[in-house]
Homo-oligomer: A and B are copies of this chain.
């Protein structure tokens, strides 16, 4: 086998290709390279928005063919972690660019195009993690957290009341002023201020009756049915870093989802 004759093989060509003697694991080369690329992203070797080395360079670095690197990058691009731009290069995805600004926002008008909301911040408070938040974010019960409350306004109408909870250890010195200044989405702000990028999220949706606070901020009667969206967002390595609860007034707006 050719690979076994290489000098200083950068990767485990042999073990990866060998029959399955000692265990159920078989890792294709492109998978190993995907992991190496992910580790470089975690280590911050390439920052959000920056270009990573060209396919040829990476192929040389990892001692594999361009096609194998391609397949690794393809997988990361499919997960929205990298972005390919023909003729220019491959870039680390970012929430800062306008196109991906509200990538995770699934609330859209019943009719017409997706609309970008404006944000009214209510307050930013420090507190202790509830059992629910601590469980979601892998924190100790009572760990210090920062909670952001805000209202998302669509076409002059308040539609979503959000509470966003972050570990104060991971995101120190958050203030309402800094967030306001940043403009753009929260994730864009966290990315540029703390270098932490959200790559995926899990949501759970259910119906609730509006409580006093929700009724007040969304300008509806108490007990109005609201769509409640709980979210946990993850950064590289499937590390949960944000807990969020959104209360949505689904009158003229709804949560859109595609199933495949």
Contact = CB atoms under 8 A, between A and B. Distances in A.
Interface of A: 79-80, 103-104, 106, 110, 199-209, 223, 225-228, 230-231, 248, 250, 253-260
Nearest to A110: B204
A254 B79 contact: no
B79 A204 contact: no
A257 B206 CA distance: 12
A95 to B, nearest CB: 12
A98 B259 CA distance: 18
Contacts of A204: 110, 254-257
A113 to B, nearest CB: 15
In this complex, which of A106, A202, A204, A209 has the most chain B Cβ atoms within 10 angstroms of its Cβ? A204
A26 to B, nearest CB: 11
B206 A254 contact: yes
Contacts of A203: 256-259
A209 B96 CA distance: 38
Given A225-B225, A225-B226, A206 B259 contact: no
Contact of A258 (B200, B207, B227, B248): B200
Contacts of A248: 207
A250 B204 CA distance: 10
Contact of A207 (B106, B207, B230, B256): B207
Contact of A208 (B80, B103, B207, B231): B207
Given A80-B260, A225-B226, A206 B104 contact: no
A257 B205 contact: yes
The 7 closest A-B pairs by CB, nearest first: A206-B250, A207-B225, A205-B255, A207-B207, A225-B225, A204-B254, A201-B259
Nearest to A105: B259
In this complex, which of A79, A103, A205, A228 has the most chain B Cβ atoms within 10 angstroms of its Cβ? A205
A87 to B, nearest CB: 14
Given A207-B208, A225-B226, A202 B256 contact: yes
